[in-house]
A = this chain, B = another copy of it.
Amino acid sequence: MTQPPFVFDHWASAHQQRVEEVLSRTLPSEGTLPGHLHEAMRYAVLGGGKRVRALLSYAAAELAGASPIAADASAAAVELIHAFSLVHDDMPCMDDDDLRRGKPSCHKQYDDATALLVGDALQSQAFECLASTSAPQALKQVQVLATATGSRGMCGGQSIDLQSTGKLLSREALQTMHQYKTGALIEAAALLGAYAADHTHQQLITTLEQYSQHMGLAFQVVDDILDATADTQTLGKTAGKDALQEKSTYVSLLGLEEAKALVNTLYAQTLQLLASFGPQADPLRGIAKFICERPF
């Protein structure tokens, strides 16, 4: 009997729905004290987003031989961290953005103080989520996620970004900033999925690190292309912000055509990286295609 052909869209929507249910179970209900905060946390996390990081966790888990059940905590934890970063990034003292995932951002729907606490509490929830599994490699997962989130990861990238606004960055400096700001968490998403297995070979980790570095870069270049070319309604967030804030982007640095060519190169290299794997790498291939072929 042959396996039915892998259809990424089916796989993705099944796993998007899966992580949505896990997140809904993980976040305390609005009836749990303090109800106001829990309502705002659920508002910030549920019912939106492409869940790319969760998909990466599930896809890496599949490659590592871990079940979706084993990867649920990884997928939820990386989405909680991502949601926390969006809530804080949108605040007036940061990007000051009123729109997120097509609806009012958290501090607009509630207020600044609530948004601050929502972000803080979502970060704690991510680590609580990982620690409550007692899986063999759960402590390793905590370590990877904490490093990717903190000053030498996502938060550090935000800081570099703030310090860079209005400055002309070299391509190398831009790449470093994005490696911290978005690349670190994308890599953590994949590694957490792999560590959801009882044991993980170092060679698999190395492959996933390379995969994530390519995808992290591609993701950012595509984001810059979309910010420069798509409209606000299509994005579900404010478009054209980069130019308005005089930020260095891959589009401002390379031009639109060369930025598109870079995405194509990264996609080809990523498929090459996965060439020796069988169908258990199909979800990772599908995610690469999804990231690199977002409409532009």
A74 CB to closest chain B CB (Å) equals 15
Is B146 touching A33 in the complex (CB atoms < 8 A)?
no
Select one of B121, B128, B138, B150 contacting A124, CB under 8 A. Answer: B150
Is B93 touching A151 in the complex (CB atoms < 8 A)?
no
Is B155 touching A117 in the complex (CB atoms < 8 A)?
yes
- Encode contact with B along A104-147: 1 for CB under 8 Å, 0 otherwise: 00000001111011011101110110111010001110110111
Beta-carbon nearest neighbor of A32 in chain B: B152
Beta-carbon nearest neighbor of A91 in chain B: B116
Q: Which residues of B contact A142 (CB under 8 A)?
A: 127-128, 130-131, 139, 142
Beta-carbon nearest neighbor of A120 in chain B: B155
Select one of B37, B121, B128 contacting A143, CB under 8 A. Answer: B128
Is A151 touching B113 in the complex (CB atoms < 8 A)?
no
A248 CB to closest chain B CB (Å) equals 16
Is B131 touching A151 in the complex (CB atoms < 8 A)?
no
- Encode contact with B along A154-180: 1 for CB under 8 Å, 0 otherwise: 011011101100000000000010001
